[in-house]
Amino acid sequence: MRGVIYARYSSDNQREESIEGQIRENTAYAEKNGITIVGHYIDRAFSAKTDDRPEFQRMIADSSKKMFDVIIVWKLDRFSRNRYDSARHKATLRRHGVKVVSATEAIADGPSGILMESVLEGMAEYYSAELAEKITRGMTENALKCKYNGSHVPFGFVIDENRNYQINKTLAPIVVEIYERYASGEAIKSIIDDLNARGLKTSKGAKFGNNSIHSILTNRMYMGEYHFGEIIIPNGIPAMVSEELFNRVAERKKKNQHAPAHNKSKESYILSTKLFCGKCMTMMVGESGQKKNGNIYCYYKCAAAKRKKSCDKKPVRKEWIEDMD
């Protein structure tokens, strides 16, 4: 009998060691049961609450090619923590003559095994939902105390040992400088060129660009307003700029949104011709769009998704992908 191993971990608490442990126990199970392992499918840092996992999807597709007879998982929750997805994909596998087995959970064939498998899958989904609820409740409590909840830390802030936002005394003057220069009428390009010439870097360690300056000039946290989801607390964190200065900047940005297009600088997409879609391998192209609030967002989009709608790859924010090391 030919088999493959499917292994997965989903969080910072489970890393490569978790994958190695799963493979080790799955391999031992295969040897004990006379199964020849012909392949591995491994998803790193993907949750089983969704089936949007690249290696998982490849495994389901490969099941139709008669390449293997059984899929070995460490526990059934590695396969899925969603009962609907689990039932749907197992039905597909059964049509292809493929069975899913757990290396660590004794599940008999027959009616009792069906019941046991349903109980285990239901428990996995329950614990997943319970954990998500506890995390949400904990993060809400943190937010009501204006504490850091794990999101990106804006330029000029630091997080102390108690998860409170504090001002970085070295970088905060740069934030104030950016606000004052823009409010006084200086062009964003001029500010960007000067900051980069001085060797300053964004909070992600990259050069300053239109998006990073825009993020600074529109982030209400700089005037002390704490945000987390729908929770907004004025004066919840230390302020770097006054409300009056923030509003002057906002007024100038609002006026510039209605300026003629030829007065606006063109965005440079440095990854043009170098970035390809991870789903269909079509070239990604640069695009920009303007939301109702006037904010301009630049991103890379799969050309196949743009022209033919033949790919469902979502657009990727330009700032995020270009700032990656």
The neighbouring-strand residues paired with 102 are 73
Q: Please state the domain extents for the chain.
A: 2-130, 157-263, 268-325
Say how far apart CA 276 and CA 25 lie, in whole Å. 37
Three-class secondary structure of residue 31 per DSSP: helix
Q: What is the pTM of this model?
A: 0.46
Q: What is the helix (H) or strand (E) element at residue 142, kind and residue range?
A: helix 111-144
Say what the pLDDT of residue 256 is.
Answer: 76
State how far the Cα of 289 lies from the Cα of 127, in Å rounded to an integer: 40
HSE toward the beta carbon, residue 67, CA cutoff 13 A: 15
CATH number of 2-130: 3.40.50.1390
> How many other C-beta atoms can be found within 10 angstroms of the C-beta atom of residue 24?
13
296 DSSP β-pair partners: 290
Q: What is the pLDDT of residue 201?
A: 94
* DSSP structural state of residue 75: S
* CB of 303 closer than 8 Å to CB of 287: no
Q: How far apart are CA 186 and CA 177, in angstroms?
A: 11
pLDDT of residue 298: 85
The residues, ordered by sequence, that sit 6+ positions from 30 with a Cβ below 8 Å of its Cβ are: 3, 5, 36, 37, 72
Q: To which H or E segment does residue 284 belong?
A: strand 284-290
Q: What are phi and psi of 7, to 5 degrees?
A: -130, 150
Residue spans of beta strands (DSSP E) within 36-185? 36-44, 70-73, 99-102, 157-159, 165-167
- Give the per-residue pLDDT at 146: 93
Spans of the chain below 70 pLDDT: 11-17, 46-50, 81-84, 107-110, 112-128, 131-132, 258-267, 290-295, 307-309, 323-325
Q: What are 35's two structure tokens? A: 């199964």
Buried b (16+ CB within 10 A) or exposed e, 230-248: eeeeeebbebbbeeebbeb
Number of H helices, E strands in the chain: 11, 11
What one-character-per-residue DSSP string does 149-199 give?
-SSPPPTTEEE-TTSBEEE-TTTHHHHHHHHHHHHTT--HHHHHHHHHHTT
Structure confidence at residue 263 (pLDDT): 42
CATH topology of domain 157-263: Hect, E3 ligase catalytic domain fold (3.90.1750)
Question: In this structure, how many other beta carbons lie within 10 angstroms of the beta carbon of residue 149?
Answer: 15
Question: Which position has the token pair 């303007």?
Answer: 290
146 DSSP assignment: T
Separation in Å, CA 152 to CA 70, 149, 194, 228 = 42, 9, 25, 12
pLDDT at 235: 93
